[in-house]
Amino acid sequence: MPLKRRESGLKAVLVIGDGMADRPVKELDWKTPLEAAHKPSLNQIAKTGISGIMDPVSPGLPPGSDTATLALLGYDALKVYSGRGAFEAIGSGIEVLPGDVAFRCNFATVNKNLVVLDRRAGRIANKDASKLAESIQKIKLEKLLDSEFLFKNTIQHRAVLIIRKPGLSIAVSDFDPGNVGEKVSDVKPLENTSEAKLTAKIVNELMQEFHKNLKEHPVNKERVKCGLPPANMILCRGAGTVPNIKPLSQMYGISTACIGATPLVRGVCKAAGMKLIDVKGATGTPQTDFMAKTKATIQALKTHDFVFLHVKAPDVASHDGNIKQKVELIEKIDRMLGYLLGNIDVDSTYLAVTADHTTSLVTRSHEGDPVPIAITGPYIRRDDVEEFNERKCAKGGLNRIKSMDLMYILMNLLGKTKKFGA
C-alpha cells in the first residue's frame, strides 16, 4: 500500500535556537559555541538526518528576529515585511487591524531637557507599568485629528502603541533615539507623502501628551521617593502594519502551533495563522523553563501537524557577549532535544533544528552568516554529517539553502506540497 501524500499522518517539529549560530571565538580556542558545547542530541539529529547550511534571508544580510522568523515559516521577507510594530502587538495578544499602525514602545526615563537617562526606566515592574498605561489610555484626544489610539504595557518596560485612522503610513522615523545620553527625536516622515506626514504629526503629539501625563503621575512620584527612575517618557519605534500573508493552514492544509515567549516571534507566528500556546514558566530569557516548553511541544504535536518551538535564550547571551552562558544554553537546548527525541514518534515525525540567524559574541549583533540546519525523520536522505555545528553541517546533503525554502522542504516531506505541472 502506498503512503498517501496528503493523508500521510506525518508531522514535523521545527526547533529554533535564536541567534544560536556564531563565528569562531578566541576564548573557545577558535571554536564556535555550538562546536564547544557538549550536545549529544543535536549531534544525534545530524547523525541520523540530513544537514546543511542556510542563509536566513540572503547571503550576508543580518536579519531581525521578525524577518528571520517570517523566512523560517516560508515567507519571502524581502517582499512581505511591513515593520516590527504590528508583530510585537499581535504577539502580545493585542488585535491589530489592517491599516492600523503599531509601534513597539519602552517606558523610559528622561531629564527635563528630554535627554534619555534610562531606556527601560529601571526595567520597571509590571505593576507600575500597568497603572501608567491605564492612565495614558485615558488621555483625551481632541487635538489628534480624529485618530484613535490604543496603548498597552506588556512585560516590564515594554509596551505597544496602536494608532487607528484611515490613511496612515509606516514610513516614519523612531521617537526612540536608541541610546542613553541622546535627546528624544521628533518623529519624521520618511516619505514625502501626506500619509507619512500625518502619521508623524499624530505620533509626535501623542508622545508629548504621554510625557505630560506621566511626569505628574503619582506612580512616578512614588518611584522617585523610593530612589527608582521615573517612567516619565514613552519611546516608540518600529512602525508596522499587519503583513499581507496567507496563513500556513491555507498554504499547506495543516494545523500549526507556536511555542515561544518572545512577543515579536509570537506575533509573526500569529500573523501566519498559527495557534500560540502559552507555557507557564516560558519567559524568553535564559531562565525560561526549558522542560515545560519541551513537554508543551510534545503535547501540541498530538493535535497539530506542525509545531514551531522557539528558544530565545542563546540570542540574549550573545547580545550580552556572555560566552560561557551561550555554551550552557546550547547544552540546555540539547537536553530539550534529547527529551523530544525520546518522546515523539520517530516513525511519523520529522524533527528539524536550526537557528534563525547568527548572533556574534564578538560584535554582539545579528550577523548575515549562514546557520546550520539538520532534519531527521522517516524517509530522509541521511548523510554522513555526525555533528551539529556551523562547519560540519556545511558538508551535509542539503548543501546551502535559504531559510524561506525550509518550510517547503518540510511540507514536502509531510506530503503537503502540491504538484506544479502535470
Applying CB under 8 A, which residues contact its own copies? Answer: 2-5, 8, 23-24, 30, 32, 53, 57-68, 77-78, 81, 84, 104, 238, 264, 321, 360, 362-369, 379-383, 390-391, 394-401, 405, 407-412, 415, 417-422
The minimum distance between CB 410 and its own copies, in angstroms, equals 8
For its own copies, the closer of residues 63 and 189 by Cβ is 63
Minimum distance of its own copies from residue 390's CB (angstroms) = 6
Cα–Cα distance between 251 and 410 in angstroms, integer?
13
Yes or no: say if 199 and 165 are a contact pair by the CB < 8 Å rule.
no
Nearer to its own copies, 142 or 420 (CB): 420
Taking the least distance from each CB to its own copies, the nearer of 60 and 99 is 60
Integer Cα distance of 317 and 142 in angstroms: 45
Question: Which amino acid appears at position 298 of this protein?
Answer: I
Q: Which is nearer to its own copies, 23 or 123 (CB)?
A: 23
User: For residues 321 and 338, which CB has a smaller minimum distance to its own copies in the complex?
Assistant: 321
Show the beta-strand stretches assigned E in 222-379.
233-240, 256-259, 275-276, 306-311, 349-354, 358-359, 366-367, 371-376
Q: How far is the CB of 143 from its own copies (least distance, A)?
A: 30
CB of 391 to its own copies, least distance (A): 6
Nearer to its own copies, 55 or 100 (CB): 55
Q: Which is nearer to its own copies, 134 or 320 (CB)?
A: 320
Q: State the Cα–Cα distance between residues 161 and 187, nearest whole angstrom.
A: 14
Q: How far apart, in whole angstroms, are the C-alpha atoms of residue 386 and residue 45?
A: 8
Q: Work out the angle at residue 17's Cα, subtended by the Cα atoms of residues 16 and 18, and round it to the nearest 5 degrees.
A: 100
Q: Which is nearer to its own copies, 202 or 264 (CB)?
A: 264
Beta strands (DSSP E) in 134-241 are 148-153, 158-164, 233-240
For residue 68, the minimal CB distance to its own copies (Å) is: 7
Asked if 85 and 38 touch (Cβ cutoff 8 Å), the reply is no
The nearest distance, CB 405 to its own copies, in angstroms, is: 4
Tell me which amino acid residue 125 is: A
CB 277 within 8 A of CB 296: yes
Nearest 5°: the CA angle 416, 278, 125 is 140
In whole angstroms, how close is the CB of 63 to its own copies at the nearest point?
5
C-alpha cell at 110: 528622561
Listed in sequence order, the residues at least 6 apart from 289 whose beta carbon sits closer than 8 Å to its beta carbon are 279, 280, 281, 282, 283
Write the CB contacts of 391 (distance below 8 Å, at least 6 apart in sequence). 32, 35
Burial class (CB in 10 A: 0-12, 13-18, 19+), 299: middle
- Pick between residue 334 and residue 390 the one whose CB is nearest to its own copies: 390
Please report how the helices 194-215 and 126-137 are oriented relative to each other, as an axis angle in degrees rounded to 10.
120
**Minimal distance, residue 17 CB to its own copies, in Å:** 17
Q: Measured from the CB atom, is 2 or 227 closer to its own copies?
A: 2
For residue 173, the minimal CB distance to its own copies (Å) is 14
CB of 13 to its own copies, least distance (A): 17
Cα dihedral sign, 311-313-318-320: positive
Rounded CA-CA distance 229/372 in Å is 43
